[in-house]
Structure formats: structure tokens, C-alpha cells
Structure 1
């Protein structure tokens, strides 16, 4: 092989090696540069993210602080307005609440009285039935004692008083005994609601009835004694009618003739069925203990109804007073609304005068540069809102009366 060719080959080989080394070095330098750029980009991204997060955090904190401050201010203003309104409403409705409480107390008292009266009535009816049975037994045992006129009179008055008390009456409150008037002296006077009185006579004859139950008496004699008893009762009815108690006392035009036992009345009625009609003609009502107690119970019911009526009237008066106060309150509210409308009208007129007469002259100072760098004059707008008028008939009626 020629020497020149060998040298060229070696030179070419060295050149290739050097070129490869140069290319490798350039590539390594380029790779190192790219890695540095990548690291720099990563650092820039991290820095940007950190700055963005910090900026967002500061913005959020500022927004929250501002929102909290505004919210506190609004809450403070609203709380103050709410307290003022609540106090104003409480001051206005205080008398109404007091009246309603009084009315509620009266209603509760009335309901308690009604329940008590109903319970007492049932109890008294039960006691009346028990006492009536005892009364019949006592009547039989007292037959012998009643043959004495004085004893009989005392016993009749005692039975009369007992019947009145069994009906729930109180002496000198609901009835009076042995009251004199123009020469007449009835055994008892029952007081009615409204000032009227009912006269009761307890002197009905029972001698013939007692004779009918003597020992060792024949059936014929017993029948004759019972007939005489009916006749004597009828005669006594005529005598009572002729006394005209109702013309001497403030009484209805009738008298009650009290017979102190059921058997006295039933025996007379059995012998003379027209006895009741005769009493009606003479304005005399025959009454056994049961009948008298029933009549007096009716009278006591009238007393209880009068008491209820008094309570109802008191409640009605309270209701009317409440109605008047509500009406008066409505008038005040209407006057307040009219005052607001007058204030709004005056304000709108003032705004119109300010805009048409005052502000044009004031703005001329600025044209001559006499404003001293002050801000522009504010523009005022008229108020278009009007107050709401009352529509309730009671409140409107009161306002119309006030205007008249």
C-alpha cells in the first residue's frame, strides 16, 4: 500500500474521531442547556403559583374583612331600628293587652262560676231527693204532735223555712219570714230578681186530715174527714185570695199556699180534683214541699242568671271599651299617615324650590370660579312613595268622626 494513501486514511480517521468528539461535546452542552432551561421554567412556574396563591389569599382575606365589616354595620343598624319598632309597638299595644288580660280573667271567673253552679245544682238535687224521703218519714212520726195548734203552726213554719233552705236560699238574702205590711203578716216572702216578691202562706188547715188517721176510726168516718179536709183547704184558698197580698207588696198577682206535707195536698186533690182550678181563680197556688222547692229552685236559677247577666254586662263593657280604644288607636294611625303625607308634600315642594330657584343661582358661583374647589352641588329627587291608608271599617269610621 502506498505511503500517501495510508497517511490520508489516518488523517481521515482522526478527522472523523475529532468530528465525533466535537459533535458529542456540542450535544452534551445542548442537553445541559436544555436541562437548565427546564429547571428555570419549573422554578418560574412554582414562583408564579406561589405568587398567585398568595395574591388570591390576600384578596380573599380583604374581601372577607370588608364583607364582615359591612355585615356588622348593617346588623347594627337593623338591630337599632328593630328595637325602636318593637318598643313603639309595645307602647301602643300595652293598654290593649291589659284589657284583653282583664277580659280573659273575667271569662275564666265566669266559667268557674258556671261549673260551680252546675255542680252545686246537681248536688242539691241529689240532697233534695234524700231529704224528701226523710221528710215523709218524719211527717208520719209527727202526726200525733201536730194535733196541738201551736205545735202545728211552729212545725209548718219550720217546714217552710227548711224547704226554702233546701232550694239553696238564704234567710234575709233570698227570703224573709213573718214580714208585716198594711195589717197583713205573711209567713214568708221570697225575693225575686228585679225587686219583686212572692208571698207564701203556711197556715193551711190540716186538722181534718189528722182526724182521718186516728186509731179505731171507721172507713166512713175516714172518708168524711178527708172530704172535710178538701173542703177546708178550698175555703182557705178563698180566704187567701180575698186578702190580695199583691196589692200590699210589690208582688206578682198570686199567693202560694204552702201545705207542709205531700200527703196533705194529694189527699185534698184526690177528694176535690178541681182544687187547682179553684186556686187559679182565686190567684192562689197550692204547693206541697216538692212543688215549693221546685219553684224556689227556679227563683234561684233566676238569681244565678242575673249574676251571670251582670258578669256578661261587665264583659260587654270591657269589650266596648276595648273597641273604643282600638278605634281611637286607628284615628291616631290615620293622623300619623296624613302627617307623613304632608311631610312628603312639603319635602317635594322644598326640592322643587331648591332645584328651580336656589341651585341655578348657586351654580353661577362655580362659573365665576368662586366655589373654592368644592364638590358639585348634589341633586335631590322628589319622594314618590305615599303612606298606606287604613281600610278597616272601625278605624275609618273613627277617623271620619274626628274629621266631622
Structure 2
């Protein structure tokens, strides 16, 4: 439409140019106005320029039309490709609908397995009761230890009071002051040790009380987790319908979930997918659990469940029997493969010659064991322990308790070392106190001997000095009244004893 408009404009311009040419001829023939002719020529030139500009616009519009035509062809090709893809999507949708129907059938079969899981749950309840009984015994043992520590603390306190009471019974005030100063200097380190010992005992008692409460919570969590494992059996269809890689990832996810629920800390108590390089290649177990004293446990979760999936979905006995046989063979093959890996020989691992093979579905192991009763013994012969979520969780709880006992043993060792230090300091103090007592006894004996020389007997030194004063009146100073009175009293007692003897005779 626009192109037609441009053509009409060109024709109109041509007509105008012709008219102007006629007018120009008329003006030239009449020779009336040169100025009008010039103006007409200028207008004609301007119209010619506009004509050229319109031709350029026509060329540009032609190029744009060609581009739009190419885009239209590309859009048609894209539309055809989208129609093909839409057809494929419809086919995939039909396949998904079919898979949903198959999943519904699998759920019905899993519901039939619920009775077996319920029986297993009852067995776990019995194990739970046994664990509670063992924990109660452990709690009683901890209380006995706390009572012994309390008794020892009271004994130390009583000994300390007795020592202080003996110190307070010193007769001489001057000696008492010096003794008190010496005792304070000797007792200060001992008091510091006693305070530290008392604080350590209180800390241990507090930790034991806290741990007992945590044990009760963990037992309750174990009960709830067993119930949750039973419920999660209904979700197995999601993993069982996938490829082998998806099954492996699902098994590792269940393993990680069990590790997290066990109370162990990742990076501290266990690590996931640690890589080891040897001359035979690279090894990467799914999990390594750390034990006290630098030991480890290796867990592998890569077990194939394709045959078990076919067994669960089988609709006739022949196909089910063949699928179960394939499942047992796959189980045995995985046992042999793990046995050949020799994880215990890897550098940096201090693990016993055994590896845990984690089976995320407990019924998969139960069905295999029913089909081949020698399977468990064969696993032991291959240095492999088969673990389901329930049994592995129980084992990991035991590992966590081992770490707690290890920490308690460390604290007990520190406490024993401190007790030994306190005992040594007490022994040193008692020896020093004994030497101090001997020194005080010697000092008292020396004091009594010196006092006897001054005051005892008819010829005591105080009496003789007093007689000097009578013979020499120039001596004005007097002896202390205490000594003179005691010397006179001593003489009176001697005279009384002599008179008494004479009377008896």
C-alpha cells in the first residue's frame, strides 16, 4: 500500500514538472518575467530531489520486505519444529501416566509387606527394653561413683578440720602466731588443690546428670525413629523405579539421614566420601566413622536393588522366583566386590578387617536371607557386616556412647592425677607439720629446762640474784615480779614437802 502511494507521488511530481515546463515555455515565449522563470526552474529542481529521495525510500522498503519474508520463513520452520516437539511431549506424558499406574500397583504390594515391618517393629521394641535396662544399670553405676567421690570429699574436709583444730591448741601465744603464719604458707597450695579437686568433682557429677537425661531422650528418639522407618517404607517406590545410579544416590541419602539422626557430628565423628589413592586406583567409601583411640569403621551404601524391584512388582510366582534368585546373586556379587576392596589396607585407615554394607531397605535383606540362609555367614566370611537403617542406627548410638565413655575416662584420668597431686601435697604438709610439732616440743622442753634452772630448787638462779640485792643495797633495779613470786612459791613448796616428810617420820 505504501509502495503504491509512493508511485502516485512520483506520477504527480512528473505531471507538475510537465506543467511547470509548459509554464516556463509560455513565460519564455512571452518574455514578460525572467524572475518567474527562475523560480519555476528552482521548484522543478526541488521536485526532482524529492523524486530521488522517494526512490531511495522505495528501495529501503523493498529490502525490509525481503527481510520480513525471510523471518516469516524462519517462523514457519520453528513452528513445525515445535509441533514435532509437542508430539514427543504427548508421548512422554502417556508414558508418565503409565508409570503412575505401575507405582500405584507397587504401593498395593508394599502394603502387603506392612505386616512383616510391624513384626520387626515389635522386635525393636524388645531391643529397646533391653537398652533401657542397660542404661538404668549404667545410671546406678554413675550414682555409686558420685557417692564415692562425695564420701572422699567429706573425708578430706574432716581431715582438714582436724589439722586446723590441732593448730589452734598451741599453748604459747608467740609460738602460736609464728606457727599460724607457717601453717598458712603451707596450707595455701593445699587449699588451692582442694578447691580445684572439689570443682572437678562437681563438674563430673553435673556432666553425668546431664548425660543421663540425654540418654533418656535418645532412647525416646530411637523409639520414634523406629516408627518413622516403618512409615518411610511406603516411599520406596520412588527409589525402586529409578535407574541404578538413582538407587545408589537414594541409598547414600538414607545413609546420611541415619548418620545425622544418630547424634554424631559430621567432620568430627564421621566423614562422607573420603577419597584414597593407591597403586591399585582410587577408593572412595561412602562413609568413615571415627572411633576412640584412632580407629575407624567403613560403610558402603552402593547395593543394587533392580532385582528386588522386579521381585516386588512380579505378578506371577515364576517371575517372582527368578527375580528373587537374581536379587540374591546381586547381593552375593556385592559381598564379593566389597571383600576384594580391602578397605582396611588403605593408608591412613585404622579399621578392623571388616566393612559395613548398608542396605537402605530392610525387607530387601530379609527376603534375600529367607531365600539363602547362608548369606549372613557368607558375608562374615568375606569380612562384611550387613547393616539396615535400624541396626546401623543402633551401632552408631553405641559408637556415640563409646565416645562419651572415652571423654569420661579422660576426665577420670585428670581427676585421678589431681587426686594424686593433692595426696602428695597433703603428705608433704603432714611431714612438715610433724617436723613443726617436733620443733615445738623441743622448744617447750628447752623452755621448761631454762625455767627450771631459773626457778626450781633451793639454789635457783632467781633466788641467788635476789640474795645479791640484799647483800648489795646499791642495786636499785628489781627482777620481774612473775619470776620472783614463782621462785618463792617453789621454795615454799620445797619447805612444805620437807616438813611433811619429817612429820611422817
- The separation in 1 between residues aligned to 2:377 and 2:441, in whole angstroms, is 79
Question: What residue number does 1:320 align with?
Answer: 420
SS at match of 2:283: coil
Question: How far apart are residue 260 of structure 1 and its match?
Answer: 1.1
Aligned to 1:339: 439
**Distance of 1:373 and 1:358 partners within structure 2:** 16
* Structure 2 counterpart of 1:76: none
1:120-135 superposed matches below 5 A? 120-135=217-232
Where does the alignment leave 5 or more consecutive residues of structure 1 unmatched?
1-79, 383-404
Q: 1:212·1:223 contact (CA, 8 Å) conserved in 2?
A: yes
In structure 2, the partner of 1:258 is 358
Give the 3 Å change call, closer, same or farther, for CA 245–374 of structure 1 in structure 2: closer
Contact 2:248-2:304 at 8 Å conserved across structures: no
1:203-250 deviation per Cα after TM superposition (whole angstroms, max 9, x unaligned): 1221111121235x4211111110111122112111211211111121
**Structure-2 separation of matches of 1:296 and 1:257:** 14
Matches within 5 A, 1:193-208: 193-208=292-307
* Other-structure match for 1:393: none
Could you say which residue in structure 1 is the equivalent of 2:213? 116
1: CA distance, partners of 2:197 / 2:177:
24
Q: CA deviation at 1:265?
A: 0.6
Distance 2:273 2:441 in 1: 76
Deviations 1:133-192 (A, max 9, x none): 222122245322xx3122111111101111112222221121111111232111111111
Task: Find the counterpart in structure 2 of residue 158 from structure 1.
Answer: 253
Taking a change above 3 Å as real, the CA distance of residues 328 and 106 of structure 1, as seen in their structure-2 partners, is: farther
Q: Deviations over 1:325-381 (max 9, x none)?
A: 332332332122112012113213423544578446524414524455957863469
The alignment's TM-score, normalised by the length of structure 1, stands at 0.66
> Paired residue for 1:187?
286
Q: Quick one: structure 1 residues 113 and 308, their matched pair in 2 at CA, closer, same or farther if it must change by over 3 Å?
A: farther
CA deviation vs aligned residue, 1:22-41 (integer Å, no higher than 9, x gap): xxxxxxxxxxxxxxxxxxxx
Query: Residue 42 of structure 1 aligns with which residue?
Result: none
| 1:108 to partner: Cα distance | 3.5
Name the structure 2 match of 1:297. Answer: 397
Residues 326, 296 of structure 1: alpha-carbon distance in 2 compared, 3 angstrom cutoff: same
- 1:368 paired with 2:471, answer yes
Distance 1:207 1:321 in 2: 65
Q: Distance in 2 between matches of 1:108 and 1:240?
A: 45
The equivalent of 2:272 in structure 1 is: 177
CA RMSD of aligned residues (A): 3.2
Q: Distance in 1 between matches of 2:327 and 2:411?
A: 49
Structure number with greater CO (CA < 8 Å, separation at least 6) is 1
Give 5+ residue unaligned stretches, structure 2. Answer: 1-172, 491-505
Match of 1:167 in 2: 262
Could you tell me whether the CA contact under 8 Å between 2:291 and 2:297 is conserved in 1?
yes
- Bigger share in helix: 2
Q: Which residue of 1 aligns with 2:379?
A: 279
Residue 229 of structure 1 pairs with residue 332 of structure 2: no
Instruction: Report the 3-state secondary structure (helix = DSSP H, G, I; strand = E; otherwise coil) of the residue aligned with 1:212.
Output: helix
Give the aligned length.
299
Give the drift of 1:318: 3.3
In 1, the alpha carbon distance for the partners of 2:251 and 2:385 equals 17
Partner of 2:268, secondary structure, is coil
Query: What's 2:68 paired with?
Result: none
SS at match of 2:245: helix
Question: What do the CA deviations read for 1:281-331 (whole angstroms, capped 9, x no partner)?
Answer: 111111111111111111111112112222323333333333333323323
